[in-house]
Structure 1
Amino acid sequence: MSKAVWQREELATDPHRRGDKAEKVQAMFAAIAKAYDLNNRLHSFGLDQRWRRAAVAMAEVTAHDDVVDVACGTGDLTQLFADAGAKSVRGLDFTPQMLDIARAKSARVQAVKIAKPTRKQAAVPTYEWGDATALALADASVDVLSIAFGLRNVGDPRAALAEFRRVLRLNGRLVVLEFDEPRNSVIRALNRFYTHRVMPWSASLIAGDTSGAYRYLPRSVETFLNRDSLKSAMLSAGFASVQQRALTFGTCVVSCARVHG
């Protein structure tokens, strides 16, 4: 059983204002890493990979692109960028337990490709520890930088956006996939019932989790930047244009910001 990370009284306030948010998020993901993929598939009704593919499509990846997937977790989005034909793909995360799973999954993918070779050659993703607010990357060294369901969990999201802008090349793209609250009041009410009442109980049961991760999730969404505020934050960080696409009735949004000269 995992130890409690988020207390109920802590989630009664805004978790994004806590000075120890980053440490709590790291401990939380360490606790749920083994059941992370299963819970994602079950509680998104299998849509989470479709959302990730939408993010890859918005990035318009080419065979010349160097891609960095920040807060890569278990590597699902990272692998999709590799499959899309990028020149190189690197996954960064600050939870070692998630990186261990990402590496194991990548090894299985490569084993299948060796056993069943095709003409299409895809980059092999690499995975390493990384902090979204202090990337160990040179200025203007990345063509595409992605972060899926991770910006909300960063200790200082605006500092992360500035860091993303620093490492992106001219004409580079930042792709942010994040949960949002649906704008339709009926759908929003149904979504809140599901995410506050159903999902925390069932996901915690599946993961054997007592860290509070699945109580933190809906609370962190409703207290985070909505799509309009996120767009403004991206523009304030120095990005020249932002395109957004709402997915599945607005329960999540993919935002693509570009670096212009």
Structure 2
Amino acid sequence: MAMRDLDGLVAAITGGGSGIGAACARRLAAAGAKVGILDLDPANSPGLPLKTDVRDAASLEAAFTELTDAYGGLDILVNSAGISAVGTVEANDDAEWSRVLDVNVTGVARASRAALPYLRRSRTPVIVNLSSIAATAGLVERALYCASKGAVHALTLAMAADLVGEGIRVCCVAPGTVDTPWVARLLSHAADPEAERERLAARQPTGRLVTADEVAAAVQYLASPASGATTGMSLAVDGGMSGLRLPSR
């Protein structure tokens, strides 16, 4: 990729205040994009801070209005906002199912719906959703999270089919276990944090966690106009977890 392949473009990143979203914000800004950070706490990432709740349609609409007024348009939407859930199908009650699906799935739909009137005015419009290896792999005690990311994967394909005729590309990135503050919090609750970290790293064939910047690089690739023939696909950034089956060591 060219270092400045996003020069002159405007990007909105939901969940851009931390973790993978913040890495995407830094990466896209370094590639020349003007970036809006749509987050409950957007202050610590590069770009225009836009306090936004993906559970609230009015909040999203106001953020896109402010972003496009400031930068003159919108070319890229990265739907990175998401929350996790732990447990089997019995572990989470109806309220928790509603909460997680509202952020992880309906939040993607809300943000995309609010962004589309602006994306339709772009010459190179694209939506990149953050899915997960959990969309297609059964992970232990991740029933709700897997369901939410499976829905994001399916939604990406459906949106791509609906919008391809308008020249709007829609793709998703499916990370494996990423070294983020959320994973650090998860490890802090383990009986043996170091052993748990080693276990998470070992289940990826590369033997290490994915970095947030590696995920952001994949997002930049899909967001770039150079990827104009790529739509309706999921790009795995998972250390080979989804496709490789290695001999036991």
TM-score by length of 1: 0.44
TM-score by length of 2: 0.46
Q: Which of 1 and 2 has higher RCO (CA within 8 Å, sep 6+)? A: 1
